[in-house]
Structure 1
Amino acid sequence: MTNQIKRFENKVALVTGGRSGIGRAISRRLRDEGATVITAQRGEDEEFESIGADFSNPNTPEQIIKEVIGRTGKLDVLINNAGMMQEAKIEEMSLEDWQRNLNLNLTAPFLLIRAALPYLRKTCGSIVNTGSVEGLGANPGHAAYCASKAGLHGLTRSVAVDHGDEGIRCNAVAPGWIDTDLNLDMIENIADAETFRRDIARIHPVGRTGSPEEVAALVAFLAAGEAGFITGQVYTVDGGRMTKLSFP
């Protein structure tokens, strides 16, 4: 980061799924702006203080919040970023897989927010959820992912409405195609990777795909005090993809 803005000095931020991809970029951005960052996900985080988390266990979210408070004494920013995507049409998806997707993408954020609210009230804290353009539209075979992200967008609005008078703000970002390591590796395994890269760039009015750092920049703004009059919003970060009509 080239600028020296320190919007999160003396603040504590929890980032789920903060070890890779968009979550890693968010964690770094918040740290660079002064925050004490704790990440939560499966396994250890070699860059940040972290908490091992199995979000399939409904007791995990409350345990994570208690651990953060035990270590730091407070919580100012909650970033619900952990998520998964499983490709399957409805008839191909078992109930167990459906529930697994919803548990990680929607129920875990709900439980984390519920457990964090008493502490966010004390700090007039901020919540930012990582939704998706697939909470607004749909790609083929993504029924569970689309449903869970649309639900997360709705949860964002509800939290903002119910807890705004307590000083708590809640917003979401809806990223489109972002060049995470996972996506880049997927492209490299395609037979004609060069053609795919060209075609995916063409569907974006800006002529390219996005970076995790571009999502992180918006997340940091929404979490910061200067966004104090913004809540209950879902911000699309997709290079104009959802705005562009297909041709012909």
Structure 2
Amino acid sequence: MKLKNKVAVVTGGGRGIGRGISEKLLESGAQVLIAQRQPLDDELGSHAQVAWFAVDLADREAPYAIAHAVEERFGGADILVNNAGFMFEQSLDEMNEDDWERMMAVNMRAPVFLAKALLAQMRQRGGGSIVNIGSIEGIGANPWHAAYCGSKAGVHGFTRAMAVDLGRDGIRCNAIAPGWINSDLSDAYIDVQADPAQARRDLLRLHPVGRTGEPQDIGNAVAFLASEDAAFITGQVIVIDGGRTAKLPLPF
């Protein structure tokens, strides 16, 4: 088990992509502190290697509270997965400063300052791995996603900057840019389309691999980047999208 005796912090690790990440880290032997507002379900919450810390990442003090919690529970962190984030669809006409600032607080400020809050622990433990969950929308854009795209492009940017600054401490920093990943939220988005069956067929045609992604697809990559198998990988943004962004669009 490649992550045996390692401790991971995963924000938003109880559902969706975060759940897939937590499960793969646990399978690899890690202990996992999941930081999120919602309680864990019985299966994850009863796992001997899991701790839950209730926190709102929009709170400026949240990163330091998480760092204290993981030190108290597991003795410190070796791995940080900044997974939690949210998205809204608004035109520039509709969006206001409060909307923008909450997006940036959760999607950008919290990951940066959680990394800062855990630095002392990672240095004391001989190094670590930070994996930030960005998005293909940090590379391209969907309509009405100015704030979300801006936040995810920022995630990709500060990933590279932290890799440069923290390499001397043995701390690697990479990002994953997921494409369409199946979840309750993505299923609900399809279901409200005028013709959900046709929407699903059209969505599949965007993916050369012939399917959309699963949370475990992202979890597999996170577990790899967190391990010593990825010891020479840092400062990278790894796109995991079934080939969607590689495929040029055609009008037929």
TM-score relative to the length of structure 2: 0.94
Aligned match of 2:84 = 82
| Residue 28 of structure 2 corresponds to residue 33 of structure 1 | yes
Q: Which residue of 2 aligns with 1:169?
A: 172
Determine if the alignment matches structure 1 residue 20 to structure 2 residue 22: no
Structure 1 portions without partners, runs of 5+: 1-5
Q: Displacement of 1:247 after TM fit?
A: 0.8
CA shift at 1:188, angstroms? Answer: 2.6
Aligned to 1:159: 162
Q: Could you tell me how far apart the structure 2 residues matched to 1:137 and 1:9 are?
A: 37
Shift of 1:122: 2.2
Runs of 4+ with deviation above 4 angstroms: none
Q: Deviations over 1:200-244 (max 9, x none)?
A: 000111122111111111111011111000000000001111111
Q: Please state if 1:180 is matched with 2:175.
A: no
Residue type at the aligned position of 2:91: K
SS at match of 2:33: strand
Q: What TM-score do you get using the length of structure 1 for normalisation?
A: 0.96
Number of the residue aligned with 1:68 = 70
3-state SS of paired residue (1:247): coil
The answer to whether the aligner puts 1:141 opposite 2:144 as a matched pair is yes
Distance in structure 2 (CA, Å) of the matches to 1:152 and 1:129 = 7
In structure 2, how many angstroms separate the alpha carbons of the residues matched to 1:156 and 1:146? 15
Q: Which residue of 2 aligns with 1:200?
A: 203
How many pairs align? 243
- For 2:107, the equivalent position in structure 1 comes to 105
Give SS of 1:242's match.
helix
Partner of 1:8: 3
Q: Sequence identity of aligned pairs in percent?
A: 51
The whole-number CA distance in structure 2 between the counterparts of 1:122 and 1:196 is 50
